[in-house]
Structure 1
Amino acid sequence: MSVEQPLWRALIGYRVLAVLYSAGVFVWSYEEYSAPVPGAVFLAVLACWTFATLRNVASADRCTLPFLVTDIALGVAGILLSPVADGNDQVGPTLPSIWVAGPVLAFALKGGWRWAAGASVLVGAANIIERGTITRTTFHNVLLVCVASIAIGYVIEVARASERTLARALQIEAATRERERLARDIHDSVLQVLAMVQRRGTALGGEAAELGRMAGEQEVALRALVSSGVAPRPGPGSGTPGAADTWGDPPGSGAGGGRSSEREPGPGADTGPEQDAGSAVDAGADDGAGPCDVRALLSSYAGSRVTFAEPGAPVLLPAQAAGELAAAVGAALDNVRKHAGGGPDGRAQAWILLEDEPDAVIVTVRDDGPGIPAGRLAAAEAEGRMGVSLSIRGRLRDLGGTAELVSVPGQGTEVEMRVPKHDD
């Protein structure tokens, strides 16, 4: 709703009350007028004009410049006609009385303080001509109308500028959220495939190595694009910059990042080793608005190296929120598998804990890897590796939740993801 729209409605009320007041003053002092007929005719015309043009002062679009000129001309004409009706100066107020402030305020609402200043000066000059001299009362009334109209005009200009700024900010926020969503999808699919092609091509050699090199270059360019043009810097000893995933080239513990195409399926999973983390989400969540049991989505991640602990009762969230939460958990597990060494074979063990609280659903992903070096996450984000910021924190932020990451060198990494429950 426009900030100025209530002011237009207030102006409609003011004009109606003002014309009724002017008519009341005239009727009350009728016998004191030396020539009441011209005054009565003018007030009849003024009343008809006021009620007939209420629609014109309903908004800035309807309040056109020709209407404003006619409106203020009618007010000035009433001021200059007052000496004819009140030749003995017995009544005091002019025929339009306080109604004449309405056109000035309309100028202020339509064009800002500059239009208001011009209209108030015109009305002030008409009052001085009607009185024939500048008296204290005349000067006070003119100054009051002038200050009030200019102040309102200035407030309108500020309100309009604020509305434009707010609208632009909302557009930027919407565009940023959409870009982050697209960047998450790209990170969780295209970038991972390109990284896999680069690694496999390098390992196979020959023509495949050239294909891998080209895939690595495209990965670098795409990472720069989704991270607002921040070009990734090559890691130490890395032949192709950007070839390593989310946490960068140095090995670190993982609960946080993008999906992998090498996820180990859980017991009973009817998928091959190339199933990515999004498959579990697709298996248990759809685009419907009904509730979804988060346990069903997360249980597919359980395996020989992933332990899943869940409540005995269903943990329900809207399908879209449950799917995004499961995708964030999959991203965390992918980084555990890719970056956290811990067991005898250099692979870490991970644990998933699902908790159902009265106001939120909490999922904790912990691993026994070596932990993340201090400052590594910030450096990875600067290099265009947006796994933690987009695939995990971005998803939780869009759901109104949070993702807290704690890493202790030598003791592994823990990510706590909290999604609030929204009661219908």
Structure 2
Amino acid sequence: MTDADIRTVTGGMAAARRHGKHPKVLRMSVELPLWRALTGYRILTLVYTLCLVALSYRRYEHPLGAAAYMGALTVWMALTWRRTTSPERCTRRFLIADLGFAVGGILITPLVDSHARIMDGSPTLPSIWTAGAVLGFAIKGGWRWAAVASSAVAVANLVERQELARDTIHNVVLVWVASVAIGYVVEVARASERTLARALQIDAATRERERLARDIHDSVLQVLAMVQRRGAAIGGEAAELGRMAGEQEVALRTLVAGGMVPSAHGARPGGAATAVPYAAGESGVGEAAPVVAAPPPVAGGSCDVRALLAPYASAGVTFSEPGAPVELPAAAAAELAAAVSAALDNVWVHAGGDAHAWILVEDEPHAVIVTVRDDGPGIPEGRLADAEREGRLGVALSIRGRLRDLGGGAEWVSVPGQGTEVELTVPKGTAPEGGRRGKARA
């Protein structure tokens, strides 16, 4: 179940509540097919048992007694066949009554049939319909309930036959083993279902937490870092304000990094970066980077990536694009633009305000590739991993997290003294929500 599916269900439930209606509960149950199969089994075996009794009607010592039992059993099935269509309808009281019909039919068989026919292997009145009552216990309560019910049937069969005949023991053991095995499988399936539901809850919570962390990094953390730096430069009361902003930045980074739970599918996409305009030359290494004002995301349809990336061009940024439109789903294009913004932020942080950056857009048959390159000093080996451990999550969330949601990836190539190159790849036809997620390359 994807995030889009979860949002669709919860949105429908919210709409139903607003209109005063009770929302329909969508139950994800691995045992529902078993209940349907049990219902079909009980109906088919009833038909088979009726035919069996009808064919042997004249052979019974008291055929009217056999007919009376089969009539009662048919009425019982007509009144209760829906009870086995769902676990809510199949109550413990019903299961006991159903088993009572089966055991009662076995015990009255000697009263309506001759001893010779019974010893010759004649079936009991309920015949194989009895297994349906036992299977109901197995599906409802697991293997322990199944063992109790099948044991009751076994005792009834031994009383009816009055001896330990081979075929009787064979049938008893077969019913006992089958019901216990099905009951155990049902218990395992329920445990797996609970584990899956818990995993989906954790995954959804993780995605939301990572989305919030990414938005915080793209806006609040950088504003706090700017206030800290400006306050230190101005001095006086502003310096104290800057110091407090710096403390809050560190605390917030620690909270964001500590609350992160690794997710195989990445974070859910957040919005574009919030613009915080100030000169790029004022940023130093290790400080917050200037946030480039990205165009707002376009809702729905497709979008030309060039239109979203063109505003990044400036005296310090060279933008190169194909001559034809580069189309991506609007949400995917917005996420790619936000990742480019974060990559440019890293250029100003690590290369300084005097660095020059180049943005190259390539429209490949199956993907859109955007390369961000600078002429800075490069990134020392292991620095990206160290930054992530320190709580600086620009690369982990604003770049890798966004592209991972789109089924793409990011690759860094950095040589000391020769600058850094970041290649961002987004497969065509992907969207952050509800689409197929691929494996990130970085």
TM range (shorter): 0.7 to 0.9
What corresponds to 1:327 in structure 2? Answer: 338
Structure 1, 10-19 or 50-59: larger mean CA deviation: 50-59
What corresponds to 1:122 in structure 2? Answer: 152
d(CA) in 2 for partners of 1:144, 1:205:
87
Look up the SS of the partner of 1:361 in the other structure: strand
d(CA) in 2 for partners of 1:275, 1:195:
10
d(CA) in 2 for partners of 1:173, 1:228:
16
After superposition, residues 1-400 of structure 1 pair within 5 angstroms as 1-90=28-117, 92-229=122-259, 261-262=276-277, 276-277=291-292, 279-282=293-296, 285-286=297-298, 288-341=299-352, 347-400=354-407
Match of 1:301, as an amino acid?
Y
d(CA) in 2 for partners of 1:110, 1:173:
30
Q: How big is each residue's C-alpha offset from its partner over 1:254-303, in whole Å with a ceiling of 9 and x where there is no partner?
A: xxxx88835669xxxxxxxx9842x3222xx33x2121111011011011
Look up the SS of the partner of 2:361 in the other structure: strand
d(CA) in 1 for partners of 2:274, 2:416:
24
Deviation at 1:88, TM superposition (A): 3.4
What corresponds to 1:269 in structure 2? Answer: none
State whether residues 259 and 330 of structure 1, in contact with CA within 8 Å, keep that contact through their aligned partners in structure 2.
no
TM-score normalised to structure 2 length:
0.83
State whether residues 264 and 303 of structure 1, in contact with CA within 8 Å, keep that contact through their aligned partners in structure 2.
no
State whether residues 192 and 260 of structure 1, in contact with CA within 8 Å, keep that contact through their aligned partners in structure 2.
no
d(CA) in 2 for partners of 1:128, 1:390:
69
Aligned residues: 381
Deviation at 1:6, TM superposition (A): 0.9
Structure 2 portions without partners, runs of 5+: 1-27, 261-272, 281-288, 436-442
Look up the SS of the partner of 2:358 in the other structure: strand
Q: 1:49 to 1:263 in 2, by over 3 A?
A: farther
State whether residues 33 and 86 of structure 1, in contact with CA within 8 Å, keep that contact through their aligned partners in structure 2.
yes
d(CA) in 1 for partners of 2:423, 2:58:
85
Look up the SS of the partner of 1:49 in the other structure: helix
Look up the SS of the partner of 1:358 in the other structure: coil
Look up the SS of the partner of 2:146 in the other structure: helix
Look up the SS of the partner of 1:53 in the other structure: helix
Match of 2:368, as an amino acid?
V
Match of 1:39, as an amino acid?
A
Structure 1 residue runs of 4 or more that deviate by more than 4 Å after TM superposition: 262-265
Look up the SS of the partner of 1:227 in the other structure: helix
Equivalent of 1:403 in 410, 435, 440: 410
State whether residues 72 and 100 of structure 1, in contact with CA within 8 Å, keep that contact through their aligned partners in structure 2.
yes
Deviation at 1:72, TM superposition (A): 0.3
State whether residues 275 and 294 of structure 2, in contact with CA within 8 Å, keep that contact through their aligned partners in structure 1.
no
State whether residues 292 and 319 of structure 1, in contact with CA within 8 Å, keep that contact through their aligned partners in structure 2.
yes
Look up the SS of the partner of 2:258 in the other structure: coil
TM-score normalised to structure 1 length:
0.86
What corresponds to 1:239 in structure 2? Answer: none
d(CA) in 2 for partners of 1:347, 1:333:
13
d(CA) in 1 for partners of 2:50, 2:116:
18
Deviation at 1:28, TM superposition (A): 1.3
Look up the SS of the partner of 1:320 in the other structure: helix
d(CA) in 2 for partners of 1:18, 1:160:
27
Identity, in percent, stands at: 66
Q: How big is each residue's C-alpha offset from its partner over 1:305-334, in whole Å with a ceiling of 9 and x where there is no partner?
A: 211111111111222111111011011001
d(CA) in 2 for partners of 1:259, 1:304:
22
Look up the SS of the partner of 1:280 in the other structure: coil
Deviation at 1:69, TM superposition (A): 0.6
Look up the SS of the partner of 1:114 in the other structure: helix
Match of 2:276, as an amino acid?
S
State whether residues 290 and 348 of structure 2, in contact with CA within 8 Å, keep that contact through their aligned partners in structure 1.
no
d(CA) in 1 for partners of 2:41, 2:180:
17
Deviation at 1:15, TM superposition (A): 0.5
Q: How big is each residue's C-alpha offset from its partner over 1:38-78, in whole Å with a ceiling of 9 and x where there is no partner?
A: 11111111122223222110111111011001000010000
Match of 1:415, as an amino acid?
V
State whether residues 317 and 359 of structure 2, in contact with CA within 8 Å, keep that contact through their aligned partners in structure 1.
yes
Structural RMSD (CA): 1.9
Deviation at 1:410, TM superposition (A): 2.1
Deviation at 1:358, TM superposition (A): 2.1
Deviation at 1:381, TM superposition (A): 0.8
Q: 1:200 to 1:365 in 2, by over 3 A?
A: same
d(CA) in 1 for partners of 2:83, 2:278:
67
Deviation at 1:357, TM superposition (A): 1.8
d(CA) in 2 for partners of 1:263, 1:18:
80
Deviation at 1:339, TM superposition (A): 1.3
